[in-house]
Structure 1
C-alpha cells in the first residue's frame, strides 16, 4: 500500500455479504437499518476494493460477529482477510470475534493476526449483547493489546433494530463510551477507536479520548453537517491528532461524507490529519517512497 499516494483512509466500512450470499445480519435487522439509513446495495469485497481504488483511498473492512446474541452466523473472518489480501493496495482487514466466546475467541484472534494479517477487531456492544468493561471480554483484549492490533468499538445509538419492537433486543446502554474508559485503564497500551459521534454521549466520548492517550474517535455513521459543535471544536484543537475519517460504507458513501466534510469549518492543516495521517500512524502504515533516486 502506497500511503503517500492515497487521498484518504476510511477506517470504518462493513462487509455485509459473503461470497455465497450469506449476510452479516439477519434480514429483519437489515430491514430496520434500511429504514434508518435508507436502502443501499451490498457490495462484495472485490467491488469495495474497486470502489476505493478508483478514489485513490484505502478502507478498513470488517463484519460483526454477534452470533451469541442474535443466533445469526457471522461472515467468516478468514474470508474477509483473504479477500482483502487480494487487494493490499486498497483494503485493510479487520476481524470481529464475539466476546462471549471467551478464551476460544482469544485464540481465534491470535490466529487471525498472526496467520491472516488482521490489523484490528470490531466490537458492537449493543448488537453483541455485552458491556465493554465486562471481564468476559478481557482475554480477547489481552491478545489484541499484546499483538499491537486495534480495538474499534461502536458507540452511541444504532440504526440496527431501530423501529423493531423492543429494538430487536438491542440495548443501547452497552454502547456508552464511558464503558470503554475502563478498558483503556485496564489495558493502557491497547489502541482503541470509539466509532461514530456517540449520540447521546458525545461529551463522554470526548472526555475519554482527551484523557486516555490510546483512545481515538472515528467520524463514521453521520454526515459531517450533523456533527455536534463540540465534536468539531475538539477535532480542530485538542483531538486534532486523534480523530479519524470513517464513512460507514455502504450505508453512507465516502463521496457524500467528503462532500459534506469539505463544507465543515475544519482548519486546513487539520484536514489531512483527519482524512489520512492519523489513521496511517495508528495502523502502522508507513508511506512508500515514490522516488527512484539512490537515498545515499
Structure 2
C-alpha cells in the first residue's frame, strides 16, 4: 500500500476530529488573549517605560556625546585603539547617511533585550548546572526556541499583546536568550572539580563557591553566550520591525516591499556595523577576562 493510500485510509471522521481540535485550541487561545491580554500587558508597563526612556535618552543626547560614550565603552571593553577608531568612523558614517535616529532606536532595544536576557538567562543556566532534573526540563524548551522559525514567535505574541515595542522585545528575547542559558550551564559544569573541592575544604559555602569560584572561572564561556545572544538579537531586528519595532529594521522592510535597493543596503550595513562592534568588543573582553584568570592561577 502506497503512502498516499495509507493516509487516505484514515476515516474522514478522524481528520475532522483533528480539525475540531485545532479550532478548539485556536479559540481557547483567542479567548485567553481577550481575557488576560490587558493584565499581561500591564505587567510589562515598567519595562516599556524604561525602554521608552532609554530610547529618548539616546535620541535627545547630542550626537557628539553619544559618539564619545560609545567609543569609550568599546575601548574600555577591548583595550584596542583600532576597534575604538572603527566604532568612531562607523557611527560617523551612520550619521552622515541619515541613519542616526534608527540606529539609536535599534541600539536601545538591543541593549534592553540583552540586559533582560542576561538577567533571566544566567540564573536559569545556574539552576541547570546545579540540577540535572532542571537541565532535562529546560533543554528541550531551548531546543524548541532555537529551532522554531522566528516568524512563529510573532503569532502568539501579537495575538496576546498586539503590535508595539513590548511584543517585539518579547519575541527578540525568546529568540536570543538560549545561548546565554546554555553557555552559563556549560561554563559552570566545566569548572574543575578539584578547585571546588579545595574551596569546600577551606570552608566555603555553596553561595561562596558559586560567586567566588564557579562564576568567575566560567565567565569567559558566559561572555561567549552573551556575545551570541547579542548577535541573535540583532538578526531579529528586521523581523521585529514587522510588528511595529522602530529602528534599522523598518527601512530594510520598506526596501523589500518597495524594491529600494540602496535603502536596504545602507541600513543592512548599519546593522552589520553594530554587530561587528558588539562582537569584537565582547570577544576582546572575554579574552582579557580569560587571560586575567590564567594569571591568577599561575600566581
Q: Please give the range of the TM-score, normalised by the shorter of the 2 chains.
A: under 0.3
**Structure 1-normalised TM-score?**
0.25
Comparing both structures, which one devotes a greater share of its residues to helix? Answer: 2
**Structure 2-normalised TM-score?**
0.25
Comparing both structures, which one devotes a greater share of its residues to strand? Answer: 1
Structure 1 or 2, whichever has the larger Rg, is: 2
